[in-house]
Amino acid sequence: MTDSPGRTSPGSSPSEETDKADKAAEAAQEGRPAQWAQEQPPPGDWSASAQGPPRQRRGTGERARAQTGPGPGHGGAGGVPGQPGQPGPQAGRQHPGRPQWGRPQAPQPGVIPLRPLQAGEIVEGAVRTMRIHWRAVLGISLTVAVGTQAVATVVDRLWDRGTPELDPLGGATPETPQELVGAIGNGLGGIGVAWLLSLVGSITAAALLTVIVSRAVLGRPVTAREAWWSARPQLGRMAGLMVLVPMLLIGVFAVGIVWGLLVAAAGAEQAGMSLTALGGLAAMVVATWLWIRYSLAAPALMLEKQGVAAAMQRSAKLVRGSWWRVFGIQLISILITALVGLMAQAVVLVFDVFIHGGGGQSVADATDWASLIEIGIAAVVSSALTLPVSAGMTALLYMDQRIRRESLDVELARSASEGK
């Protein structure tokens, strides 16, 4: 660069500095001491009024490092970008004169990286938890599935449900309203017992598996016994939550269809049926919205030691503004559960056809002990595989929402480092 008249360059020109650096390198190779100027500017201390781009105002020591290769902390090329020298392996992908910084990797002490997650990473984290901690996870899910299904099979075989009277393809029709009410009561009794058993199993499995997932995120081992002792104080509140939310959804459906039923009972059957269908559709929309709104209450209750009402409020706060995202991930969980259940039922059906030759009753219609046991085995396999995935996805979704809203990843990273 040629200085304008009446103006003095504040130092040596870049070409002179380059020549000096080349001479210093040659002297170092020949074992001769380098001859540097007596006065040098302080390295890296340039005022805002200094002339020329920053890469032309660097000290000779920094320039020598840039020419010989990449310095520590730089993943790019040696030498100044856009200047002849020795380019590194990534020089072609760097913008000339612009520093390139690598994206820092999120810490991952356990099954998920501590950052906002994608839907696939939530599914992967739930499956990875089941794979890494398979002893505790499968021990809990198998125990719960076998216990509840064994009782359900016995009840299904021995309970006098009275449903043959209601079978449209066979059986006697109830002759009096009392017989009809009795038959309906017996059927609802069997359904109620099955629902109660399923509820007990769901409460226990969800509580214990949520604890295991919370430890797996931190990379800490956990046994089924430790999960039980950690979850036991919250089981009562968990039961209250698991009863309250379904009853709330059932109440919404009842309110939605009762008006149409009243109109039909008054004599306007066509209008009553139309109003019932419309009310049922509206109730389904409201119930779905409430289900997603309170879908994160269970992990909030278990991991934050909240009460039932506080956990529901916590879930509503975390879901607010992300309803569609939470709905999509929960829908994926339902689809996975349904797919695994259908696969288990298909395996049992093939096994039944292979044993009985397809000449007997179908698995769905049989009531003998052998067929009920086959159905129970399919239900046990399905529950043992789907309970960890659904509970794990819900727990990870809860943590993901807290990471996005409350920077939970910082607290988790600190807890993981302290636990080492």
pLDDT, tens digit only, all 420 positions of the chain: 444 444 444 444 445 545 555 655 555 555 544 444 444 344 333 333 334 444 444 444 443 443 444 444 444 434 444 444 444 444 444 444 454 455 578 889 999 999 999 999 999 999 999 999 999 999 999 999 898 888 888 877 776 544 444 444 444 555 555 555 555 556 566 666 677 777 888 888 999 999 999 999 999 988 999 999 999 999 999 999 999 999 999 999 999 999 888 888 888 888 888 999 999 999 999 999 999 999 999 999 999 998 999 999 999 999 999 999 999 999 999 999 899 888 887 887 787 777 766 544 444 455 577 777 878 888 888 888 899 999 999 999 999 999 999 999 999 999 888 866
- Single-letter amino acid, residue 2: T
Q: Read off the pTM.
A: 0.68
What's residue 179's pLDDT?
57
In terms of C-beta density within 10 A (0-12 exposed, 13-18 middle, 19 or more buried), how is residue 248 classed?
Answer: middle
Residue 121 near residue 112, CB atoms below 8 Å: yes
Residue that has been written with the tokens 């009985």 in this structure: 356
Residue-wise DSSP of 48-71: TT--S-GGGS--HHHHHHHHHS--
CA atoms of 288 and 202, how far apart (whole Å): 20
Dihedral sign for Cα atoms in the order 242, 154, 143, 373: negative
Rg of the chain over Cα atoms, rounded to whole angstroms, equals 35
What's residue 369's pLDDT?
75
Residue 44 near residue 59, CB atoms below 8 Å: yes
CA atoms of 94 and 80, how far apart (whole Å): 11
What's the token pair of residue 30? Answer: 């020949």
The angle formed by the CA atoms of residues 189, 193 and 197, to the nearest 5 degrees, is 170
What's residue 176's pLDDT?
54
What's residue 379's pLDDT?
85
What's residue 215's pLDDT?
94
- Single-letter amino acid, residue 354: F
The angle formed by the CA atoms of residues 16, 19 and 22, to the nearest 5 degrees, is 155
Residue-wise DSSP of 145-197: HHHHHHHHHHHHHH----GGGG-TTSSPPPSSHHHHHHHHHHHHHHHHHHHHH
What's residue 66's pLDDT?
38
